[in-house]
Amino acid sequence: MWRGQVDGEVLSPQRQPVFDSPSPARRQCPGPAAPVPTGRPPQSPAGPSSSYGVPPDPAERLRQQRRQSGASAGTPQSDQPQRSRSVSFRVPDDDDSDSDAGGGGAGDDGGATSGLRGPPRSAAVTSSSGRRHPPDPVHTVHLARTRELKRQVQASFNATTAQLQVELHQIESDLRQELQRVAAEAEGKQTEWHQQHEQALAKLAAAKQRREEQLSLACDSAEQRQLLAEARRQREAQARAEAEARAAEALRQEEERRRQEDAAKCRAEEEAKAKAEAEARRAAAEAAAQQQQQEQRQQQQPGAASAAAPAPKPAAAASGAAAGDLKAAPGALEWERQMAEKLKAAEAVVADLMTKPELKAQRRMVEKRVTLIVSQIAGTQQQISDKVDDLLRLLASCPDEATKTLTCLTLATRMVSQCDSQVANCPTFAFPLAVVCVRVGSQVPLFVDLLVAKLHQACILTVPKYFTYRPGGAVSEADHFSRLGYALVDDAKRPGHKRLETTDEYAVRVAAHLHLYAALLGTPGGDARAPHPHPAANGWAWMARHLNALPATRVTAAALHAFLDHAGFALGATYRRQFAKLLSLVRGPWLQDLSARDDDAAAVATRIATYLDDRCFQRAPEGLSIKKTDVSSWWGQREEPGAGGGGGGRW
């Protein structure tokens, strides 16, 4: 390790200035070193013993120190210490550290000279003899160089900052120019777009004006065509009115002739009836006389009374037997007679339409329109209202009373025919039919009377009346079934042949007719101006007559259950306690009589008992509340009157 000497004294390691920078670059000081003012004349740096000489470059100075140290090591020294003023510095070894150098950290130069170690700045070096030496020139040079470097760095920083500011101003100027260019282009495009938009609006206005002109021309043509069509319709209507007037005159003349014929026929019938009554009175008088004579003979000859008694006539015997088999209340028979007379009178009014060939087309047109309307009745309020309107328009457009009566008769017949098909399969369908009947009947009361008469003809239980059968009596079994209304149906076992329907099939048909009749009673309708055409009082009369006069059988029980199912709610709401008393009669004696009389009536007896026990008459029957529309009505539109649809067209 090299050690420096000052005036022959060896400096301690703690006082030796050391370059402890690890890299050679930090041991070099670029640029020439400034001369150190020492107050002595400067020595030549080339001499080996130059005192306080400052080499021009630190590296060269270090090389000179190494050469001087090597020369001193090879030359023997005398016993007297030589006082030399030369200063030598050691080069730090690799094993030196910052702690050995006697200090650490960066100085005031910000770390630029952290590798140089030596005495404190501006502090004199003190030797072992106590002498003070001037400050270290290397440190002084180092401080000066550091300040110079800081000034250079600051100048470079200021120059760079100025250059960057210039460039920034230039960029800002370029950006402003670019923005101005883009704004100018956008303004030009916007102006161009406005021009195109105005042109498009002008084209649209021109096209709209042309379209309006075309529509105006088309409307003028349509108005002309409409005027021509209206004139044509007026001519056709006038011709049709004239034809209807001629037809009405012909019908009036025919009606007058028919009335005269009917009057002559009625007079003839009355005469025949009077003659028959006279004959009957005479025969009765003769029979009474014969009976009186016979009684006198029996009194004279008691023993021969039995042998001498004449046998009754066969016709009288059959009539008595028939009268004994019929079960009906007198009021029911009178009601049936009144309805039958109204039906007969209506048939007499339409006799010419039904028989004359020249009126066949008119009759067929009525039947076709009524049949189509009835077949289109559905279980929605909208459909029902439409069909009621069609029927009322059809009735209002009838040219005369005969055609109107024929329409009512045809409608009553078609309604009753629905019982065998629609109502028998779906009992709740009776309510839509009943609503149509009530609404039409409130405007045309004749229709409801004809409907009730048709129901009496189709089913005797709607009267109500019933015929009992006694084996071996005057009426055969086939005649008995015929009087009850049993129908002939196709025989599935023998194709092409007919058979008499079974009692179960007959009971189903009876229940279907009673469902329609009960729905007619139980359907609300009518008001102060047009009351209900067949109110609930008729239902009370029917039920009282049924329980008082008819026997308890399987068929009569099926009719009673069907009637209660559809009309019980209306009767209960109208008569309340009285109706409850009537039902208690059904629950007690009548069902007991049914169970004792007919063993096959257990099923229907159970249904009636369940209806009464569950008090179903306090709930509205199923089907009475009709929904407004259905899904199918979304896909169809109501047919215009006279457009080939179901109704409303004028004659």
Task: Spell out the long-range contacts of 257-264 with Cβ–Cβ below 8 A and sequence spacing 24 or more.
Answer: 258/351, 258/352, 262/348
CB 595 within 8 A of CB 605: yes
Calpha distance 606→473 (Å, rounded): 33
pLDDT at 427: 92
In this structure, the strands spanning 18-19 and 498-500 are unpaired
Going by pLDDT thresholds of 50, 70 and 90, the confidence category of residue 213 is confident
CA dihedral 90, 93, 98, 99 (to 10 degrees): -90
pLDDT at 554: 93
Among residues 112, 89, 110, the alpha carbon closest in space to that of 101 is found at 89
Cis bond upstream, residue 464 (ω within 30) = yes
pLDDT at 313: 36
pLDDT beyond 90 at 177: yes
CB 484 within 8 A of CB 554: no
pLDDT beyond 90 at 488: no
Is residue 151 packed enough to be buried (19+ CB in 10 Å), middle (13-18) or exposed (0-12)?
exposed
Of the candidate ranges 165-179, 235-249, 384-398, 592-606, the one whose mean pLDDT is the lowest = 235-249
Q: pLDDT per residue over 280-311, tens digit each?
A: 566 556 656 665 666 666 555 443 333 333 33
CB 347 within 8 A of CB 453: no
The percentage of the chain sitting over the pLDDT mark of 90, rounded to a whole number, equals 38
Among residues 154, 149, 474, the alpha carbon closest in space to that of 319 is found at 474
* Cα distances (Å, whole numbers) of residue 62 to 29, 247, 338, 619: 12, 153, 157, 129
Calpha distance 533→15 (Å, rounded): 142
In this structure, the strands spanning 326-328 and 132-133 are unpaired
Q: pLDDT per residue over 304-342, tens digit each?
A: 333 333 333 333 333 333 444 789 999 999 999 999 999
pLDDT beyond 90 at 542: yes
pLDDT at 356: 84
CA pseudo-torsion sign 213, 214, 217, 220 = negative
pLDDT at 624: 86
CB 624 within 8 A of CB 431: yes
Q: pLDDT per residue over 508-522, tens digit each?
A: 999 999 999 999 998
pLDDT beyond 80 at 268: no
Element (H, E) at 419: none
pLDDT at 115: 42
Instruction: Read off the pLDDT of each residue in 139-159 and give the average, rounded to a whole number.
Output: 92
Among residues 253, 257, 255, 245, the alpha carbon closest in space to that of 399 is found at 245
Residue 87: CB atoms within 10 A of its CB come to: 22
Angle between helices 602-613 and 554-575 (to 10 degrees): 10
Name residues whose C-beta falls within 8 Å of residue 156's C-beta, 6 or more positions apart in sequence: none
Instruction: Read off the pLDDT of each residue in 219-234 and give the average, rounded to a whole number.
Output: 81
pLDDT at 241: 83
pLDDT beyond 80 at 208: yes
Q: pLDDT per residue over 54-113, tens digit each?
A: 445 666 777 777 777 655 544 444 444 444 444 444 444 444 444 343 444 434 444 434
Residue that the structure tokens 């401080």 belong to: 143
Going by pLDDT thresholds of 50, 70 and 90, the confidence category of residue 159 is very high
pLDDT at 75: 45
Mean pLDDT of the chain: 75
CB 390 within 8 A of CB 331: no
CB 413 within 8 A of CB 500: no
Q: pLDDT per residue over 550-584, tens digit each?
A: 999 999 999 999 999 999 999 999 999 999 999 99
Is residue 7 packed enough to be buried (19+ CB in 10 Å), middle (13-18) or exposed (0-12)?
middle
CB 107 within 8 A of CB 114: yes
pLDDT beyond 60 at 345: yes
For 286, the token pair is 């003769």
- E strands, 189-340, are 326-328
Q: pLDDT per residue over 102-144, tens digit each?
A: 444 434 444 434 444 444 444 444 545 555 666 788 888 999 9
pLDDT beyond 80 at 176: yes
